Chains A and B, each alone.
Chain A
């Protein structure tokens, strides 16, 4: 025993334990996100839960998905007002997602397993994903289209439902297209006309010229109004068509509910699916998640705008940060006199990588948005004032702030790349009569490209995951339009964007229905983690390959 202690072995094991613990936590964390994130898309079976608990006067049958279960002490259950038999010290409770939010008090309910019969999974249950009010679980009764009726027992019920649903989806798409694109375009043109008129007043155009210009504007406005009216009638017609078809569903408690087909996104029958069908449905869900827009205050639907916003922002940031970072690194390494000042500058630049990101956000808000943006508005967008164009958080300022934030990363990485190039190569080039710039651009920089790539990738990974500064400089919970679209000038630098990281914060912490949003947050987190881990692993492998390469060269 004494010998064991003196050998230091307990301490070594303790340090070993620290490594194991760290790795377990990391694997556990990634595993947790992966399991929760991936399982979100799996078509979960719909359980029928019968509870017969005379002690608590609970007598009900529920239909829904089992979200999760937990074990609590009997004391807690008793404190919450439940009658628990004396001999039990712990009880299990289940969180049941019963959906049907507009029909019942709460779409997620906790139930103790006291008096709970084993779950059954009845065939023929419909799980309906709706555009509003969340999911619906129940049994089909009938389908109705004006005078036509199909009973659920009819042979052609499934086919009729499918066809009608398909038509309804097409109409829905048409409506979205008209509302978003066509009417959106008219709106932006009207707005442009309004600005034009205001600009005329600001320019001090007077007399005949003003009158003529105003007439021209009025004419264009009228044309737009007419166009709008036409679209409006189209829309009205589509909407009235949409309301005609209805699906009658029966809930577990026997109540019948009519659901407009227009309100249905998809119908699945999870209890009747084979494993193959389930996988097909799974991948369909994943695809939908990545490509669709969010619904219901971001708690349902997809995250496409967030992915798109993140990528656009990171892209613009890269365009700004790469040249500056690389040139600055070349300056520090190749041109600057290596003295005390350069050393101080270098340390400062390195240290900026450790400055809290929120500080950059504060700077971006104060300097970029209020100062630069405010002045840009005053000079170029006077007509639109007092509503700000660039004097408000937006894509460009978010990208610029992040460019500043990631500048040290790119500089450090590029410098490292430059430092690894053996000086013999430089000397060789110079000895052959090349000028300094020729040596630099033809020999040194191409060799250092992998270092720059590493820096850029690390910068992108950092930018993609950063949220705190973005909350101040341009990210919103719901952006009505994407920052890139078909309207001139195609990339709208002043628009606000959605962002994956902020989406997680917003949906997880500021959504009205946390329980419903939870799986979505995990799925979003999984997307973000995957993106960032892949980027980082790429950067690390490039760096390692680079190291190997120069180790051989310099030998």
Chain B
């Protein structure tokens, strides 16, 4: 009988083999792709965070767009001020003769040409501009009058195309204001407009007959008729015989600065009727340019050798203001000819006689760019209100260029060093990222946040480390296996407890509880360890027959009722202790000792976050101790060492890398924890290690501020930087821990 093969035919077999091999390859390919995908996506986190942070490091860039000769910029009619309108379509040139010319930025083509309206026989004698954001400018005349005006742009959208129609408005009336009742020509002029409260303008002028005039013009609108009435308050400086080069008055109407030669005179004019000279400082070199930064608090002084420095009045101990030199910027190669502040930030551009344009920023003391734009001196500069374009006048040459200057506020120095902020008496570390108005100086010091992070982690570790490690020692080495089987999972489950719950309990229950029972808290912190030792002593004194009832390894159970009882007693006696020792309120007592006490403080965070970290440390340390090879400990015991000696002499040295790695991972967790610190502290960014005050950590700061910040702004990127710092820090910590742990595993296996 012929045995037929049960196998399928050769072709079928081959086909099946092909299919199987195809499946095998598909599976290999799919799995490999998924593996790479996961590795890639995890790497992406790091790369992306880095990519978002990178622009911080970039300086500024100027890219020329257009260059043209403009017939209207001539020797006969030099420019007094150039401005760019916010859509960067038009520019306006105020000439020193009173001509106002609007032109297209990219071609120089004239759009509108008008003249300031003055009385017929009157001529322009001086010019002044208030802060750029308001756009107010003033012309002084030969007859002692001042005309206030503002460029005005009407937007319309015919055929869905934006069209800008330029014009001039006279917000304080078309009738010029008589600054000098005696009618002398005004040679120098300064003007500022108030942005708070009722519209008001401050004008300071210097006349050809050497008088110093001050005037405050305020308008009041009648509620019913809508008619505006004007009020002018005039005053004159006491005799002051200098020939000024610049006069600058600030928008709070408090300070007046006069530059002459190399000297800067500082007047207090807050009492308009009694202005007084406070101080004269010598800059050391001839002052060639003087301008306020936005907010008109800081002055930037440019000198003939190209020096640039920032000054502002600082309040001293006697509550008196003194003009102080704050910082200097990178020197220009030529004498500074013009300074233009940015509209909404504390930055400025400066032009010099060698044709260089510099982009500087005050707070971060950064010079972002110093670039030669022309062969001839830069006479006038303009920067767009959104910091995206620059216009330079040099001779008859006009250059229009686009500007990239996104993150000038950030520098290593601004982030990590003390910075002298406007209005502060000393350089300080401050985190204050945003405020309501445009004049606000952002304060981006990462020191308060880093200190807060370390402070929270430090107190948490102070609490968690002893408890976690000691509990691990006992569980792994002394505890009976039966009890260990219950205790270990109990503590480990807590690792998964949502931290929002711990945070909420810390903030809403623990913080008020501690505030009311402060003596109890300290009694517990000090008394509990003593109680444990005392219990040990009492136990050793007990007769042997009683001791035999509870074998070794059950001490922890014996201690539970004692600890609970002590805790209850401490809390119950707390009000009496408070009355007896601290005059009824320990909190008040602390305050009297000069210690600030916040309800949500570092002690609360330390306890709550320590509680969250204990299981992490415990779990890893316990594993390390438990896995110490048994023959080592048995050998030690056999040689006559006590269990504790074995523990200290044999187990601990062997397992110490594991314990170390547990501490590292626990520390990493404490550093990055968000919800507990968010809920259990006041989140105030302060720099100290007082246990009774709160803090603000990097992570909580991200959670609070990131949802509110503008995408792509410096603030946004700095929060990404904070995330990157956290990421890198914990990653390094964990890597160290993991490497240590792997080494340990290898060592155990070789023992």
Contacts and interface: CB of A to CB of B under 8 A. Distances in A.
Contacts of A79: 585, 588
B78 to A, nearest CB: 45
Contacts of B614: 22
A471 B675 CA distance: 10
Contacts of A18: 466-468, 470-471, 474
A435 interface: yes
Contact of B672 (A8, A72, A357, A501): A357
Interface string A351-390: 1101111111111011100100000000000000000000
Interface stretch (A96-104, A148-156, A294-302, A437-445): A437-445
B474 A75 contact: no
A19 B471 contact: yes
B42 interface: yes
Which of A325, A471, A502 is most buried by chain B, counting CB atoms within 10 A of its CB? Answer: A471
Contacts of B505: 29, 32-33, 525
A12 B730 CA distance: 33
A468 B675 contact: yes
B38 A407 contact: yes
B416 interface: no
B497 interface: yes
B706 A472 contact: yes
Contact of A441 (B27, B492, B498, B727): B27
Interface in B439-481: 466-468, 470-471, 473-475, 478-479
B576 A90 contact: yes
Given A7-B642, A359-B723, A75 B671 contact: no
A70 B520 CA distance: 15
B404 interface: no
Contact of B473 (A15, A505, A540): A15
Contact of A89 (B466, B576, B674): B576
A407 B42 contact: yes
A436 B31 CA distance: 12
A414 to B, nearest CB: 12
A324 B32 CA distance: 11
Contacts of B434: none
A529 B501 contact: yes
B536 A355 contact: no
Interface string B629-655: 000000000000011110110000000
B560 A23 contact: yes
A550 interface: no
B31 A72 contact: no
Contacts of A328: 34-35, 37-39
Interface stretch (A109-117, A261-269, A531-539): A531-539
Contacts of B738: 347, 350-351
B133 interface: no
B494 A26 contact: yes
Question: Interface majority SS on B: helix, strand, loop or mixed?
Answer: helix
B618 interface: yes
A540 B559 CA distance: 28
B498 A13 contact: no
A8 B497 contact: no
Contact of B496 (A90, A336, A354, A462): A462
Interface string B707-740: 1000100000001100100110011011100110
Contacts of A323: 34
A419 interface: no
B490 interface: yes
B711 A370 contact: yes
B237 interface: no
Given A335-B31, A501-B498, A509-B507, A359 B470 contact: no
Contacts of A122: none
Interface stretch (B43-51, B123-131, B187-195, B266-274): B43-51
Contact of A24 (B478, B563, B739): B563
B579 A74 contact: yes
A351 to B, nearest CB: 4
B292 to A, nearest CB: 36
Interface stretch (B7-15, B247-255, B278-286, B525-533): B525-533
Contacts of A435: 20-21, 23-24
Contacts of A509: 504, 507-508, 679
Interface string A504-548: 110011000010001001000100110011001100100000000
A472 B665 contact: no
Nearest to B36: A331
B38 A411 contact: yes
A307 to B, nearest CB: 14
A56 B644 CA distance: 62
A509 B703 CA distance: 14
A215 to B, nearest CB: 24
Given A10-B537, A12-B536, A356 B726 contact: yes
A71 interface: yes
A345 B465 CA distance: 30
Interface residues of A, number: 104
A472 B703 contact: yes
Given A351-B738, A525-B501, A536 B496 contact: yes
B41 interface: yes
A163 B540 CA distance: 73
Contacts of B575: 71-73, 89-90
B564 interface: yes
A11 interface: yes
A437 B23 contact: yes
Contacts of B491: 22-23, 26
Contacts of A370: 711
A16 interface: yes
Contacts of A404: 41-42, 45
Given A14-B532, A347-B735, A362 B706 contact: yes
Contacts of B490: 23, 26
A9 B537 CA distance: 8
A392 to B, nearest CB: 11
Contacts of B478: 12, 15-16
B642 A8 contact: yes
Contact of A356 (B20, B466, B487, B727): B727
B493 interface: yes
B523 interface: no
Contacts of B642: 7-8
Which of B532, B583, B733 is most buried by chain A, counting CB atoms within 10 A of its CB? Answer: B532
A15 B474 contact: yes
Contacts of A367: 44, 48
Contacts of B498: 464-467, 501, 528-529, 532
Interface in A456-471: 458, 461-462, 464-468, 471
A19 B470 CA distance: 7
Interface in B486-528: 487, 489-494, 496-501, 503-505, 507-509, 516, 528
B40 to A, nearest CB: 11
B673 interface: yes
B30 interface: yes
A19 B37 contact: no
A4 B41 contact: no
24 contacts: A8-B643, A10-B533, A14-B529, A16-B559, A17-B559, A22-B471, A23-B490, A32-B505, A71-B575, A75-B579, A89-B584, A324-B34, A348-B735, A361-B702, A362-B723, A367-B48, A411-B38, A465-B497, A468-B699, A501-B501, A504-B501, A504-B504, A521-B508, A536-B493
7 tightest A-B CB contacts, nearest first? A75-B584, A8-B644, A356-B672, A331-B35, A465-B498, A327-B34, A17-B532
Given A75-B584, A328-B37, A335-B31, 4 more contacts: A9-B644, A17-B528, A327-B30, A472-B707
Interface of A: 1, 4, 7-26, 29, 32-33, 70-76, 78-79, 89-90, 323-325, 327-328, 330-332, 334-336, 345, 347-352, 354-363, 365-367, 370, 404, 407, 411, 435-438, 440-441, 458, 461-462, 464-468, 471-472, 501-502, 504-505, 508-509, 514, 518, 521, 525, 528-529, 532-533, 536-537, 540
